[in-house]
């Protein structure tokens, strides 16, 4: 039972444009969401997070939006840069319990 | 800050042997460490959670006698894959947290290949 889903396995975006990565979840108990970036053969690196009491959190070029009614969150990267090419995982947790990860989206930024 | 290392980064072993992977938090004390495995093009799956000085808590479906976890200090946890088989070949990633599940810092991972 995949409680956190990233339905797009890959995404290609032109450099300088906006990258939008999507994530859906099924467990309404989740109250904390995170995005991680991962390069091949490396561990994930934390990018940005959001609590369920908010609907938006911004950090530089990265913004995460949370739509609780739709059980959907998205990560916006503006402007996209070549170094952003990586696999992005969303993750969710509730009650400060374990993280449940999505399957990842491979983002490729085209110069 | 918040650096987590893993050793080795890559290991090849013969079927039936045991392999130990170390996870260290280099600049902070980790009250909790986590072990994940990732198959190609799949999600990170939590295997177990360990707290220093106590037994690890294993996720459903993870054999605790096969994947031995020791969290001997606040900066070191080890995962031993015993009697490894080819199906154990995977990418193993540890993470460490100084505070809570929501604040995890990941190691670079260990690629295990069992021949």
Q: Is the pLDDT of residue A96 over 80?
A: no
Query: Chain-centre distance of CA A110, in angstroms?
Result: 20
Rg from Cα positions in chain B:
13
| pLDDT score, position B86 | 95
Q: Give pLDDT tens digits for A97-106.
A: 789 999 999 9
Give the minimum alpha-carbon distance from B112 to chain A in angstroms, rounded to a whole number: 11
Share of chain A above pLDDT 90, in %: 88
| Of the partner residues A2, A32, A42, the one whose CB lies closest to the CB of residue B102 | A32
Q: Is the pLDDT of residue B92 over 80?
A: yes
Cβ-based contacts of B104 with chain A (< 8 Å): 46, 99
| pLDDT score, position A41 | 80
Q: Which residues of B78-90 are buried (b: 16+ CB within 10 A; e: fewer)?
A: bbebeebeeebbb
Close Cβ partners of B33 (under 8 Å, ≥ 6 residues apart): B23, B25, B49, B50, B51, B71, B77, B94, B95, B96, B97
Are A35 and A22 in contact by the 8 Å Cβ rule? The answer is no
Cβ-based contacts of A49 with chain B (< 8 Å): 102
Cβ-based contacts of B60 with chain A (< 8 Å): none
| pLDDT score, position B1 | 64
Mean of pLDDT values over B66-95? 94
Question: Do B4 and A43 lie within an 8 Å CB cutoff?
Answer: yes
Q: Is the pLDDT of residue B72 over 90?
A: no
Q: Give pLDDT tens digits for A22-50.
A: 999 999 999 999 999 999 888 899 999 99
Q: Is the pLDDT of residue B33 over 80?
A: yes
Q: Give pLDDT tens digits for A60-81.
A: 999 999 999 999 999 999 999 9
């Amino acid at each position: 039972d995949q409680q956190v889903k990233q339905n797009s396995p890959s995404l290609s975006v032109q450099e300088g444009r906006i990258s939008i990565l999507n994530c859906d979840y099924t467990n309404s108990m989740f109250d904390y969401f995170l995005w991680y970036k991962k390069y091949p053969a490396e561990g994930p690196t934390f990018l940005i997070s959001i609590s369920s009491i908010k609907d938006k959190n911004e950090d530089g070029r990265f913004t995460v939006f949370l739509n609780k009614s739709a059980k959907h969150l998205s990560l916006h990267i503006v402007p996209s840069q070549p170094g952003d090419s990586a696999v992005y995982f969303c993750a969710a947790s509730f009650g400060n319990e374990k993280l449940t990860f999505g399957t990842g989206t491979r983002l490729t930024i085209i110069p | 800050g918040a650096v987590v290392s893993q050793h080795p980064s890559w290991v090849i072993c013969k079927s039936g042997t045991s392999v130990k992977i170390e996870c260290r938090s280099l600049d902070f004390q980790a009250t909790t460490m986590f072990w994940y495995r990732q198959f190609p093009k799949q999600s990170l799956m939590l295997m177990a959670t360990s707290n220093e000085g106590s037994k690890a808590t294993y996720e459903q479906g993870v054999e605790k006698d096969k994947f031995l976890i020791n969290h001997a200090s606040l900066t070191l946890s080890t995962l031993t894959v015993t009697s490894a088989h080819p199906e154990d070949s995977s990418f193993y990633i540890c993470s460490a947290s100084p505070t809570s599940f929501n604040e995890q810092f990941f190691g670079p991972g260990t690629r295990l290949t069992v021949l």
